[in-house]
């Protein structure tokens, strides 16, 4: 994300690491900042977020730390910024888990006849179609060290192509 986009995110952006001569981040450091051009990307529940579109279009890449079975935010981000690589991290999601989720959603549709469940029944196909090319799913958790099959935030940034 470039400086303009970081500034548009407000007080909560940046300062993820605390250096030896810096104070720790406190909850009182976070406060609302007026933002123009807000838009919801992704589903109305946990899979979606209201973001400033200037940040979306200015971003060089998207790092996503947690998918479950909803990558609607990442898909919408891609529609607005098709050239930016999308790297997602979630150690709990596999093609098999997406297939199992899809079968469960199909069963819910059979009982409740709600189109929402029918759309979710194709999650495994959507997974295979979305995660290819510049859209990469790393089956790792983001953690403070490399314990187990973990990656650090620094690893995630290092994996981005070029100087993004």
pLDDT by position in tens, the chain (length 164): 444 444 333 433 444 455 556 667 788 888 888 888 999 999 887 778 999 999 999 999 999 998 887 888 999 999 999 999 999 998 888 778 777 877 777 787 778 787 666 676 667 777 888 999 999 999 999 999 999 989 999 999 999 998 77
What tokens appear for 96 in the block? 């098999």
- pLDDT of amino acid 13: 41
pTM of the model: 0.72
Domain ranges of the chain: 3-159
- pLDDT of amino acid 8: 39
């Amino acid at each position: 994300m470039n400086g303009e986009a970081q500034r548009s995110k407000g007080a909560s952006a940046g300062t993820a690491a605390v250096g030896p001569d810096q104070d720790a981040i406190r909850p009182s450091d976070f406060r609302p900042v007026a933002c123009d051009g807000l838009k919801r990307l992704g589903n109305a529940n946990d899979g979606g977020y209201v973001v400033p579109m200037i940040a979306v279009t200015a971003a060089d890449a998207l790092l996503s730390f947690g998918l479950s079975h909803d990558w609607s935010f990442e898909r919408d981000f891609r529609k607005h910024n098709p050239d930016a690589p999308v790297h997602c991290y979630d150690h709990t999601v596999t093609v098999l888990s997406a297939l199992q989720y899809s079968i469960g959603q199909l069963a819910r549709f059979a009982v409740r006849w709600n189109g929402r469940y029918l759309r979710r029944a194709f999650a495994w196909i959507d997974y295979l179609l979305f995660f290819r090319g510049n859209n990469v799913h790393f089956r790792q958790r983001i953690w403070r060290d490399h314990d187990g099959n973990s990656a650090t935030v620094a690893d995630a940034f290092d994996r981005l192509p070029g100087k993004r």
